[in-house]
Amino acid sequence: MKRAIPVLVLSVAGLIPVWRYAPSHDTGASSATEAAAPASTPSASSSAPSSGGSTTTVVSGSTIDTEKGPVRVEVTFDGDKIDSVRMLQQPNHPQTTAAVPKLIEETLQAQGADIDTVSGATITSDGYKESLQAAIDARG
């Protein structure tokens, strides 16, 4: 009987984290329909040449369905240079929110999709790079 009470108390204490565990929310059903929609293909639009003679082109990458949620980027090219990158879709996750500025900064420095993965946001980073590469390929 002396051992029964501590064993019971420690067992309950060990189960509390399991009861409190809240898995990340999966958007699997809505992501599947978004990925199948025609909007998931890369699209491009361009504007008239600016006074400098170069053209500004805006290209949307493919929607990449990841475990955390869909990822889709929009890239603005000024001539042959990547001028800006904007996230059109991203998972609602703290690591993603922290990783997006780093990914965009690296993209602008590298001027391509050959960038490092952000630690702690590997899934989002991989989806970002894939969507970014689709946008670059769609531009030609």
Cβ-based burial of 100 (10 A; exposed 0-12, middle 13-18, buried ≥19): buried
Q: What is the pLDDT of residue 97?
A: 86
Kindly report the pTM of this predicted structure.
Answer: 0.63
Q: Domain 56-139: which CATH class?
A: alpha beta
The span from the CA of 52 to the CA of 135, in Å, is 24
pLDDT for 113 equals 86
Q: What is the mean pLDDT of the chain?
A: 77
Q: Which residues of 30-42 are buried (b: 16+ CB within 10 A; e: fewer)?
A: ebeebeeeeebeb
Torsion sign, CA atoms 36, 38, 44, 48: negative
List, for residues 64-121, the tens digit of each pLDDT value.
898 888 999 999 988 888 899 999 988 888 888 888 899 999 999 988 888 888 888 8
Decide: 117 and 132 in contact? Cβ < 8 Å: no
Q: Is the pLDDT of residue 44 over 60?
A: no
Quick one: pLDDT at residue 74?
Answer: 92
Segments of the chain assigned E as strands: 43-46, 56-60, 64-65, 70-78, 81-89
Q: What percent of the chain has pLDDT over 90?
A: 11
